[in-house]
């Protein structure tokens, strides 16, 4: 590798940064030639949410915390340490930074200009795929961190949830959940795109009632977890959609172990059923609307007993 007065070439190897392992030697060389070594004291921001990202950062030493602002609150999304990289999403998608990265203790980083990284991404399909997967995984971590239910879990538990979850892609008009089905055993977090939620009119066959349109950050499938009943509505993609699928068995296990999570889940389902009841009672009788919505909900005492709260 080329001469660099501030960075030792032995430190700048793909083996020390797993996310760069797919790069060819000449691509690592091009990064090494333009890399800047930057040092930060504890509790200093490296990148700030909302700014335009211009560097890919490689962590040589130290720990950093990733935090995101949402509805006036601050949420911890992840931690990064030696061997990790960050800042990839802004370069990959030419977008503003989605979360702040702040040092926990003194850190030494390598900063690679975005222009160099972009050129390598365009030339190396494997690096493009690996970096896209990393960015999407981190986007999902942010979605869990700010979600009103999953934000009650610790960072460690959310990381386990993300590790065991799966990503699902839908095309326009594909069905995620079908009214009356009992087969699907996942709760979903919408990462991108929109889905229409409809229910069949009980007195007019063939007529669908739109209940809601779900978008990034919303949930689907959680009502069945609480009610233990078939899906009450059909959820259909309005265009290209990407969701995170989490097994219901995991949701139930966390509800039994973490009280805050259980109450947040129950409250979310109650609010959604109340909203749906409000929509349906404009078209149906009060009793018909209740049968389809609030009457499916277990009482809080029943829910507490079921999950040993």
Domain match, 163 and 300 both: yes
CB 222 within 8 A of CB 177: no
Map tokens 């950093």 to a residue: 64
> Which of 141, 149, 146 lies closest to 72 in space, CA to CA?
146
> Which of 250, 252, 247 lies closest to 185 in space, CA to CA?
247
C-alpha gyration radius of the chain? 23
Find the CATH number of the domain harbouring 189.
Answer: 2.60.120.10
Domain match, 178 and 219 both: yes
Domain match, 121 and 173 both: no
pLDDT tens, residue order, the chain (309 aa): 333 445 666 666 667 899 999 999 899 989 989 999 999 999 999 999 888 889 999 999 999 999 988 878 888 899 999 999 999 999 988 888 888 999 999 999 999 999 999 999 999 999 999 999 999 999 999 999 989 999 999 999 999 999 999 999 999 999 999 999 987 789 999 998 999 999 988 888 778 889 999 998 899 999 999 999 999 999 999 999 999 999 999 999 999 999 999 999 999 999 999 999 998 888 888 988 898 899 999 988 888 888 776
Domain that residue 263 falls in: 159-306
Domain match, 103 and 234 both: no
Reading across the β-sheet that carries 234-237, which strands appear in turn?
Answer: 175-177, 234-237, 195-200, 208-214
Alpha carbons within 13 angstroms on the beta-carbon side of residue 30 total 15
Domain match, 41 and 175 both: no
Q: Residue 29 falls within a domain, yes or no? A: yes
Point out which residues pair with 192 in neighbouring strands. Answer: 242
User: For the stretch 165-176, what's the b/e string if a residue is b when 16 or more beta carbons lie within 10 angstroms of its beta carbon?
Assistant: beeeebeeeeeb
CB 144 within 8 A of CB 189: yes
297, burial (CB in 10 Å: exposed 0-12, middle 13-18, buried 19+): buried
- Tally of domains in the chain: 2
The rounded distance, in Å, linking the Cα atoms of 16 and 59 is 10
Question: What's the predicted TM-score (pTM) here?
Answer: 0.83
């Amino acid at each position: 590798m080329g001469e660099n007065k501030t960075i030792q070439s032995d430190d700048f190897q793909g083996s020390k940064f797993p996310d760069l392992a797919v790069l060819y030697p000449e691509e690592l060389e091009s990064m090494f030639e333009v890399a800047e070594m930057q040092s930060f004291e504890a509790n200093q921001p490296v990148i700030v949410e909302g700014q335009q990202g211009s560097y890919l950062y490689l962590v040589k030493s130290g720990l950093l915390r990733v935090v995101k602002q949402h509805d006036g609150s601050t949420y911890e999304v992840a931690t990064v340490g030696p061997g990790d990289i960050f800042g990839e999403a802004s370069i990959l998608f030419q977008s503003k930074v989605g979360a702040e990265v702040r040092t926990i203790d003194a850190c030494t980083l390598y900063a690679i200009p975005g222009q160099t990284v972009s050129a390598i991404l365009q030339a190396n399909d494997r690096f493009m795929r690996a970096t896209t997967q990393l960015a999407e995984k981190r986007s999902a971590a942010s979605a869990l961190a700010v979600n009103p239910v999953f934000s009650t879990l610790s960072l460690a538990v959310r990381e386990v949830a993300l590790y065991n979850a799966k990503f699902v892609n839908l095309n326009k008009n594909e069905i995620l959940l079908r009214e009356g089905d009992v087969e699907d055993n996942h709760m979903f977090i919408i990462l991108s795109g929109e889905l229409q939620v409809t229910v069949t009119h009980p007195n007019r066959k063939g007529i669908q009632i739109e209940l809601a349109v779900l978008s990034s950050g919303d949930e689907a499938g959680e009502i069945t977890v609480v009610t233990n009943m078939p899906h009450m509505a059909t959820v259909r993609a309005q265009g290209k959609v990407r969701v995170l699928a989490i097994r219901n068995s995991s949701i139930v296990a966390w509800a039994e172990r973490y009280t805050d999570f259980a109450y947040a889940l129950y409250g979310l389902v109650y609010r959604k059923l109340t909203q749906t009841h409000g929509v349906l009672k404009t078209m149906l009788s009060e009793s018909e609307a209740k049968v389809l919505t609030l009457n499916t909900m277990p009482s809080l005492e029943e829910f507490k007993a079921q999950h040993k709260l």
